[in-house]
A and B are shown apart, each in its own frame.
Chain A
């Protein structure tokens, strides 16, 4: 009997360890917010709609983390590079005069070659510097964002909806997608129950990509990718071309980031240029970590749970805080929680990490 209790306790301990203390705190915090919300006068259906729609905006960006984590390249702090491909696709699609929902499709098509080229170069670079991927990824992201800041000013865009009215050249910092692909996915099969709004199309799009990713990870190449991530030496011995697999994972991640930003934009309704992509990697990184991933292990479930938890906190804290203490501390909480999560993940011992 006592033995059994001990065993149970051990199991519970084990579960707690697997789940991780910070994750537990964050989940608890979100549950607390949800419970408190009705009492402080926040409208729960609106809140839940917000969480769902923000999940649909961000899901693909978080999904973009998965392939690189699987192949052992670590967390993709270089996400901005993919985002830039997406932005190039978006602006080109508008420049070429596509409108409505079709412009979303064209943006995705036009972004793809950029994502493939950038991803290949980026992947080639990461193969040269195995072991130091994350730091270099961060700075590749930063460099490319600041390079593109100059490009947005110089490139010969002419569409009056995008350039500065006065100068007639140089892209604006935010471009409205009204008349283009705003809500292009969300509108499809949208469900409204009172105040609860569900952007079915966007969720289905995410589900499709997530399913494809899941299916890919179960193909021969997909399992090879996992093998490369968990034990490169073994993978090499088994005749897998490690560099090629890693390159593939980086290209996939970059392409998903490009599509991810387009999905984000269709929900948000604006294209944000210049410094905006700068910090987009950190929320995605912390979201997948909150979902239970580690530096070298991530699943689709991690993506879904992580995005819900992260976006839940991001949307709930401002309203609840404001209603409770009339100060908006949400920004500070977000910074501490998300970066704290990344720190926690970085300090965990992982099999793939060097001593």
Chain B
């Protein structure tokens, strides 16, 4: 069946990616940015975002859709980094320690998220989306009220002057790009953060390997059909929770890699935007709600972030107002997610009605006999 796929179907399937290629082709010359600058930026963003986006793959495999709950992992990563920077553990050891701290927090968050999603089967996405808002409240409770009053925070550069709560931004100067610069090759003015890429590559290998393990196979089975999976003796609930826990833990680690590149934490907003941008990037790369590959991740970053860099500049050139471009890229991020969700739901319905029609036909044949 797959060989017979026509050009039309191919275009329809990759319409989002193609649309982005068109946007990029139009906007790049208008923006007036040099190719070397652009490539440099994309390589940087590849290193910054890839790990985070990879964390989305496993829940998709388990049929739980786009994990908007990855925000929870990002929060855990931020909590780890805030604590580590207050303890003045710097450089790569600081990052490793932050990751170690983030893991148990992520696991707890993931268990919570997975448990709730099991109670809301069939509407995982909206639920995980609301969970991210709900946990944002809990995160604010911890960071804004408990840190400094119950959880000791010593340094006045991190603590608010009122004596508790964390400032709007926490500087990560002591570990800024330490991982990226550990081994960095310069290549025609393009900086390649080798170690970061090695870590990302290893993560890709782990995901490929994971798909072949017993657990990975179970997840795929659960993703295809929960009832069938349950009949064949798979503990569906447990498998789904595990997939969310893994995703959350990876998101936490990914967030630490992301923030070491950025060099500071926007304490109350870093995590909330990250979910949206990562999901949008993955979808731009040609992934759908039920199917995503590693290739989608990298294509997605390249296309989405080209748009991200180019849009404000192009917008400023065309309209003379830089804000237009800023709003444009927010709009595009949301629009991409919207389109992907619509395509997913219509495909699901089409498949369902196809099955229905077949059944009906079979029934008619039965009757005519």
Q: Do the two chains touch directly in the complex (Cβ atoms below 8 Å apart)?
A: yes
A117 at the A/B interface (Cβ < 8 Å)? no
Query: Are B341 and A139 in contact (CB-based, < 8 A)?
Result: yes
Report B184 CB to chain A, min CB distance, Å: 36
Query: Are A339 and B346 in contact (CB-based, < 8 A)?
Result: no
Query: Are A149 and B131 in contact (CB-based, < 8 A)?
Result: no
Query: Are B133 and A354 in contact (CB-based, < 8 A)?
Result: no
A147 to B336 alpha-carbon distance, docked (Å): 13
Name the interface residues of B223-267: CB closer than 8 Å to any CB of A. Answer: none
A6 at the A/B interface (Cβ < 8 Å)? no
B116 at the A/B interface (Cβ < 8 Å)? yes
Report B333 CB to chain A, min CB distance, Å: 8
Name the one of B137, B330, B337, B346 contacting A336, with C-beta atoms under 8 angstroms: B137
Known contacts A140-B338, A170-B321, A347-B116, A339 near B137 by CB under 8 Å? yes
Query: Are B130 and A331 in contact (CB-based, < 8 A)?
Result: no
Query: Are A332 and B338 in contact (CB-based, < 8 A)?
Result: no
Query: Are A340 and B134 in contact (CB-based, < 8 A)?
Result: yes
Name the interface residues of B86-135: CB closer than 8 Å to any CB of A. Answer: 116, 119-123, 125-127, 129-131, 133-134
B298 at the A/B interface (Cβ < 8 Å)? no
Residues on A with C-beta less than 8 A from B327 are: 146, 149-150, 153
Residues on B with C-beta less than 8 A from A77 are: 126
Name the one of A125, A331, A335, A347 contacting B120, with C-beta atoms under 8 angstroms: A347
**Minimum CB distance partner of B132 in chain A:** A339
Binary B-proximity of A328-355 (CB < 8 A = 1, otherwise 0): 0101101110011011001100000111
Known contacts A335-B140, A355-B121, A129 near B131 by CB under 8 Å? no
Known contacts A129-B342, A146-B327, A329-B145, A343 near B129 by CB under 8 Å? no
Query: Are A143 and B345 in contact (CB-based, < 8 A)?
Result: no
A128 at the A/B interface (Cβ < 8 Å)? yes
A329 to B143 alpha-carbon distance, docked (Å): 12
Report A294 CB to chain B, min CB distance, Å: 13
Query: Are B334 and A332 in contact (CB-based, < 8 A)?
Result: no
Q: Is the interface of A mostly helix, strand, loop or mixed?
A: helix
Query: Are A353 and B122 in contact (CB-based, < 8 A)?
Result: yes
Known contacts A146-B331, A153-B323, A138 near B126 by CB under 8 Å? yes
Name the interface residues of A37-72: CB closer than 8 Å to any CB of B. Answer: none
Residues on B with C-beta less than 8 A from A149 are: 327, 330-331
B324 at the A/B interface (Cβ < 8 Å)? yes
**Minimum CB distance partner of A149 in chain B:** B327
Query: Are A135 and B341 in contact (CB-based, < 8 A)?
Result: yes
Query: Are A150 and B331 in contact (CB-based, < 8 A)?
Result: yes
Name the one of B126, B138, B334 contacting A134, with C-beta atoms under 8 angstroms: B126
Query: Are A342 and B130 in contact (CB-based, < 8 A)?
Result: yes
Residues on B with C-beta less than 8 A from A339 are: 130, 133-134, 137
Residues on A with C-beta less than 8 A from B321 are: 153, 170
A142 at the A/B interface (Cβ < 8 Å)? yes
B141 at the A/B interface (Cβ < 8 Å)? yes
Report A101 CB to chain B, min CB distance, Å: 33
A355 to B225 alpha-carbon distance, docked (Å): 12
B319 at the A/B interface (Cβ < 8 Å)? yes
Query: Are A139 and B122 in contact (CB-based, < 8 A)?
Result: no
Report B140 CB to chain A, min CB distance, Å: 5
Name the one of B133, B136, B145, B337 contacting A139, with C-beta atoms under 8 angstroms: B337
Name the interface residues of A154-174: CB closer than 8 Å to any CB of B. Answer: 154, 170
Residues on A with C-beta less than 8 A from B348 are: 131-132
B222 at the A/B interface (Cβ < 8 Å)? no
Residues on A with C-beta less than 8 A from B334 are: 139, 142-143, 146
A329 to B324 alpha-carbon distance, docked (Å): 35
Number of A-B contacts (CB under 8 A): 112
Residues on A with C-beta less than 8 A from B344 are: 132
B154 at the A/B interface (Cβ < 8 Å)? no
Name the interface residues of A5-22: CB closer than 8 Å to any CB of B. Answer: none
Known contacts A139-B334, A139-B341, A346 near B134 by CB under 8 Å? no
B144 at the A/B interface (Cβ < 8 Å)? yes
Name the one of A143, A146, A336 contacting B134, with C-beta atoms under 8 angstroms: A336
B197 at the A/B interface (Cβ < 8 Å)? no
A346 to B145 alpha-carbon distance, docked (Å): 29
Known contacts A331-B140, A332-B141, A346-B127, A150 near B342 by CB under 8 Å? no
Report A187 CB to chain B, min CB distance, Å: 36
Residues on B with C-beta less than 8 A from A136 are: 338, 341-342, 345
A236 at the A/B interface (Cβ < 8 Å)? no
A342 to B120 alpha-carbon distance, docked (Å): 12
Query: Are A135 and B134 in contact (CB-based, < 8 A)?
Result: no
A146 to B323 alpha-carbon distance, docked (Å): 12
Query: Are B121 and A346 in contact (CB-based, < 8 A)?
Result: no
Residues on B with C-beta less than 8 A from A346 are: 120, 123, 126-127, 130
Query: Are A153 and B324 in contact (CB-based, < 8 A)?
Result: yes
Query: Are A128 and B328 in contact (CB-based, < 8 A)?
Result: no
B317 at the A/B interface (Cβ < 8 Å)? no
Known contacts A139-B338, A332-B140, A332-B141, A343 near B323 by CB under 8 Å? no
Residues on B with C-beta less than 8 A from A336 are: 134, 137-138, 141
A142 to B119 alpha-carbon distance, docked (Å): 26
Report A81 CB to chain B, min CB distance, Å: 12
Report A310 CB to chain B, min CB distance, Å: 15
A130 at the A/B interface (Cβ < 8 Å)? yes
Report A276 CB to chain B, min CB distance, Å: 14
A329 to B344 alpha-carbon distance, docked (Å): 40
Residues on A with C-beta less than 8 A from B338 are: 136, 139-140, 142-143
A-B contact pairs, 11 of them (CB 8 A): A77-B126, A132-B345, A146-B330, A146-B331, A153-B327, A154-B319, A329-B145, A332-B141, A339-B130, A346-B123, A347-B127
Chain B interface residues toward A at CB < 8 A: 116, 119-123, 125-127, 129-131, 133-134, 136-138, 140-141, 144-145, 319, 321, 323-324, 327-328, 330-331, 334-335, 337-338, 341-342, 344-346, 348-349
Given contacts A147-B331, A153-B324, 13 further A-B contacts (CB under 8 A): A128-B345, A132-B341, A134-B123, A136-B338, A143-B331, A143-B334, A153-B323, A170-B321, A332-B144, A332-B145, A336-B141, A342-B134, A353-B122
Chain A interface residues toward B at CB < 8 A: 77, 125, 128-132, 134-136, 138-140, 142-143, 146-147, 149-150, 153-154, 170, 282, 327, 329, 331-332, 334-336, 339-340, 342-343, 346-347, 353-355
